[in-house]
Structure 1
């Protein structure tokens, strides 16, 4: 039996793309694809390993039809691709993978950011261990804010990973300027 959900339309025949190190997110289709927490969670999982719709549904506690639909949106936006196919019991099993190890959002949009934060919140809620969540507001000039963002990004990028048998930890880093309070009349 094929891994596709029977009610899901077949995916368009797109050629499998090789995984890239960095992918720049800058098209309307990509922004729209990022605007859903389940799609964000799919990207989290598929950045680490290839997986079928059934495997993703089980891991994310989601229905196969929902996973198939959201994978189709991600695939059409070029954010995931079919990394491998296997013949099983007369059907074809497709293994999906994120198109790039790292994604850089050129112009973050509120819907995509909210979806990502919602997905992170769901992951935190499901985390089997204590986690760290820190929010601090600092008064920084533009140069110091830029330096802090670069330092944090470098720390995350250069963090050395342990073996594949170790648990996965998510790291979310952002440095943003808080909007000023509105002038009171």
Structure 2
């Protein structure tokens, strides 16, 4: 039997996302949810399917896409009842998208929305706009990243919480006023 108390850490601390196959892999909400689910411990396709309420075959397909993109890897295999059980894990504790692409961002936000909907407790979600100099924006981004990176896990039996942090500069306003209209 597998020792559930010892979970190997991902081999990398940070993986920078930049390859086209990585962006393609990130462009599906179920693959995003699989990455979320594999954030703390390896799991089999069967375990992930049960946790996420998805079909085992569907999960296995999406795990293969994530493996091919280098986002997850197999940490252990075991023979069980005439078959082979594979434990998957993320290749890095944290994944950073250097130049986000619309499809991957949309999938990540869709997966995040699904996670919020499934939360058994009240969630905290805030959108705020601030006027910041480039230096203050950089400082805030570094502070947010440090807060998340330095947060320590409690004991294994405690509930798992998700954290999504985004700091972005708003794009310039677009003129959406119908021509000839003044207000």
Same fold (TM over 0.5): yes
Aligned to 2:146: 154
Shift of the alpha carbon at 1:65? Answer: 1.4
Shift of the alpha carbon at 1:160? Answer: 2.2
Would you say 1:106 and 2:98 are equivalent positions?
Answer: yes
In the alignment, structure 1 segments of 5+ residues that lack a partner are: 1-17
Residues 50-69 of structure 1 aligned to structure 2 (within 5 Å): 50-69=42-61
**What TM-score, normalized to structure 1?**
0.87
User: C-alpha deviations, 1:62-101, integer Å up to 9, x for none?
Assistant: 1111111111110000000111000001111111111111
Shift of the alpha carbon at 1:171? Answer: 0.6
Larger-gyration structure (1/2)? 2
Residues 125-140 of structure 1 aligned to structure 2 (within 5 Å): 125-140=117-132
Residues 1-185 of structure 1 aligned to structure 2 (within 5 Å): 19-183=11-175
* 1-structure distance, mates of 2:88, 2:152: 25
**What TM-score, normalized to structure 2?**
0.88
| Number of equivalent positions | 168
Counterpart secondary structure, 1:129: coil
Aligned to 1:11: none
Shift of the alpha carbon at 1:161? Answer: 1.9
* 1-structure distance, mates of 2:120, 2:132: 35
In the alignment, structure 2 segments of 5+ residues that lack a partner are: 1-9
Shift of the alpha carbon at 1:179? Answer: 1.1
Counterpart secondary structure, 2:14: strand
